Amino acid sequence: MNTQTADSAFIRACRRQQVSSVPVWYMRQAGRSLPEYRATRAGTAMLDATSNPDLITEITLQPVRRYGVDAAILFSDIVVPLRAAGLDIDIRPGIGPVVGKPVRDEGDVARLRTLDPGDVAFVSRAVEMLTAELGGIPLIGFAGGPFTLACYLVDGGPSKTFDRTRSLMYGSPALWESLLGRLADITITFLQAQVLAGASALQLFDSWAGILSPEDYRRSVLPFSSRIFAALAAEGVPAIHFGVGTGELLGLLGEAGADVVGVDWRVPLDEAVHRVAPGKALQGNLDPAVLLAPWPVIEERARQVLERGRTAESHIFNLGHGVLPETDPDVLARLTDLVHAIPAGSVG
Ligand code: CP3
């Protein structure tokens, strides 16, 4: 475990310990909203960039330098461990993950082999370089949640509703369970490699879990997410669990075993508090689209998020989903300063 970051505001807030101001970081803080990211990435395919320790390190550090956020998040992608395990999967610019041969039967699942830590040595190397560089600033490692990974594998690419995935889940429970079991194993190895190399916290992005009913989530996904969090608990780093449109699932996201539940913008934090069992911190939840509005609107909305966050046992400020590519970096810098300038527990 990385002991240098134990007293940072971010880690303290994850553990529901007192902080002087609410820590802040942004999902997708590294990425197309930053001109330096676009320059670094020019001419390099996404999955080539995420395989190169020097590029991973540089891109991860860019938002930390620019904004002074309380945590860095590893520049990688949810498909990286799948590709490292031999799967034919790519990220198409402007589209997202696309799979060569979607998973439809036992034969397809059987081809999903386990991940060896050596398969992601480039990630371990980047995490080592980053933690040396970051010192007391925590690095958040991450992976895709089992449902979200299955969505891309079964549907074969992005979709709004992932109908094929849901129908396979309903109609072929045994196949579904063997698929999610393999994905959970890959995810555990991937996250353990990041913690072993020095990551201070982890986030599981089950971004699309919100398209499931609570009953189906509990039956078909929760056992696998729980297995992931249980396996990682031994590593002693705080874990965050996030999905989009998960208003009805917030309690279950916590129940899976995370220390922190990420909330999107649809549920106010003072309502989320009632949906999550005691003993959890909350993360969120400014609508990323608010950042495209004039500053007074942003400030008012950010203060409202902080005020509502005070009803939680602990709060980490973030957006309700990733930074939109058209966001002005100066706005994120100003927002970070605003959050830092307000003493925790005193939103005026
Ligand atoms: O938060 C961060 O700064 C860390 C970087 C990060 C990326 N992907 C880099 C990336 C993280 C945490 C992810 C996770 C991820 N990837 C998720 C879960 C989080 C979420 O947003 O819900 C999902 C669903 C994916 C799959 C994926 N990868 C999509 C849908 C896309 C967008 C496709 C596009 O071009 O619009 C990607 C590509 C991707 N991953 C980009 C980045 C910076 C953009 C591609 C580029 O810069 O060329």
Banded pLDDT at 108 (limits 50, 70, 90): very high
For residue 32, indicate whether it is catalytic.
Answer: yes
- 296 Cα: distance to centroid of ligand 1 (angstroms): 29
CB-count burial class (<10 Å; 0-12, 13-18, 19+) for 314: buried
Binning pLDDT at 50, 70 and 90, where does residue 346 land? low
41 is catalytic: yes
Mean pLDDT of 55-60: 98
203 CA: nearest ligand 1 atom: 12
Distance in angstroms (rounded) separating the CA atoms of residues 44 and 49: 6
pLDDT in tens, 186-201: 999 999 999 999 999 9
- Report percent pLDDT > 90 for the chain: 98
Distance 274 CA to ligand 1 centre (A): 30
- Please state the rounded mean pLDDT for residues 24-51: 98
Q: What is the pLDDT of residues 271-318, one digit of tens each?
A: 999 999 999 999 999 999 999 999 999 999 999 999 999 999 999 999
Verify whether residue 264 is a known catalytic residue: no
Neighbouring C-alpha atoms within 13 Å toward the C-beta of 330: 2
Average pLDDT, the chain: 97
Residue 221 confidence (pLDDT) above 80: yes
Tokens representing residue 154 in the block = 């079964």
Q: What is the pLDDT of residue 345?
A: 78
Residue closest by Cα to atom 29 of ligand 1? 96
**Residue 347 confidence (pLDDT) above 90:** no
pTM of the model: 0.97
Give the mean model confidence (pLDDT) for residues 312-329: 98
Indicate if the pLDDT at residue 348 is higher than 80.
Answer: no
Tens-place pLDDT, residues 205-214: 999 999 999 9
Angle, CA 272 vertex, CA 267 and CA 274 arms, to 5°: 140
Q: Say what the pLDDT of residue 12 is.
A: 98
What is the C-alpha separation between 291 and 136, in angstroms, rounded? 28
User: What is the percent of the chain where pLDDT is above 70?
Assistant: 99
- The verdict on whether 26 is a catalytic residue reads no
Q: What pLDDT does residue 1 have?
A: 72
- The closest alpha carbon to 186, from 109, 89, 115, belongs to 115
Protein residue with least CA distance to atom 10, ligand 1: 77
Paired tokens of 7 = 């007293």
Dump pLDDT digits (tens) for 132-189. Answer: 999 999 999 999 999 999 999 999 999 999 999 999 999 999 999 999 999 999 999 9
